[in-house]
Amino acid sequence: MAMQPPLWAVVTVLHLLALVTRPALSDPNDEACLSNLRRSMTDPGNRLCNWTAATFVASCNGFTSYLHGVTCNNGRVYKLALPGLTLGGSLSPYLANCTNLQSLDLSSNALTGPIPPQLSTLLNLAVLNLSANRLSGTIPPQLALCAYLNFIDLHANLLSGTIPAQLGLLARLSAFDVSYNRLEGPIPALFANRSDELALPRFNASSFVGNRGLYGYPLPQERGGRGLSVPAIVGIGLGSGLLSLVLSFTAVCVWLRATELTTKAPGEEGKVSHLDN
């Protein structure tokens, strides 16, 4: 008859098996990042059906991810890609809690509201693609703190204001697109002159087109009279014409008066001679 292992050995083995098979708990920062992002977005197509509280607790296990659109690296959220899922709502500032995030792609959805300036704390972020949404407000200049950014695509949104000049200081930036927004003002010289001395990529006009108020290289320069409306231009023309008419009338009057003084009527010369006698 075979000997039975002692009870303590059986308990130890079962405990070890439980530790091995149990999913590792997520980093608390990643859990807060993902759970708050889910709360801030709407999902009419139910494409995020496994984005639940139970999964947020253990979303990553080493290089294995249990969430749609999430890529893990060493137990942390490394990449978040949810393009083209008709997601609505807004961008949660808690995205900043995914501190190991290197790529964020939420393009081709229906997201609204501003770009959270808190994204500037994602110091490892290299790719930011928020294109083809309905994002509004200004482009946060704080994004310049993400020193590893090499790809920024914000085209086809409703962004307004100016392009932050600080973004031109991003040495690794090789792709930049803010076309088809509502941006205005001059394109910062740091974007136009990047390749002159620093041997950095220069961005062509396709990165900036579709912004009616934007000007400067590589787009056409600011036009003279920029900001003058058609009625203002017509008013200036009418005013100039009226001034010319007044000056012409005054000149004619002066000429007639001078002619009158130099041309004396008949008999006046004899009256003068008579008085002299």
86 falls within a domain? yes
What are the tens digits of pLDDT across the range 134-156? Answer: 999 999 999 999 999 999 999 99
Residue 13 scores a pLDDT above 50: no
Q: What is the count of structural domains for the chain?
A: 1
105 falls within a domain? yes
Q: Give the domain CATH number at 80.
A: 3.80.10.10
94 falls within a domain? yes
Residue 39 scores a pLDDT above 60: yes
Question: What mean pLDDT comes out for the span 192-207?
Answer: 69
Residue 90 scores a pLDDT above 50: yes
Instruction: Give the integer Cα–Cα distance in Å for 201 and 198.
Output: 9
What are the tens digits of pLDDT across the range 67-83? Answer: 999 999 999 999 999 99
Residue with tokens 């080493």: 62
Predicted local distance difference test score (pLDDT) of residue 197? 54
Predicted local distance difference test score (pLDDT) of residue 202? 72
Predicted local distance difference test score (pLDDT) of residue 222? 76
Task: State which residues form the domain around 155.
Answer: 23-215
Question: What mean pLDDT comes out for the span 193-197?
Answer: 55
Q: How far is CA 41 from CA 34, 48, 109, 253, in A?
A: 11, 10, 11, 78
274 falls within a domain? no
Residue 267 scores a pLDDT above 60: no
269 falls within a domain? no
118 falls within a domain? yes
Instruction: Give the integer Cα–Cα distance in Å for 106 and 104.
Output: 7
138 falls within a domain? yes
If phi over 0 gives left and psi between -120 and 50 gives alpha, with beta otherwise, what is residue 51?
beta
203 falls within a domain? yes
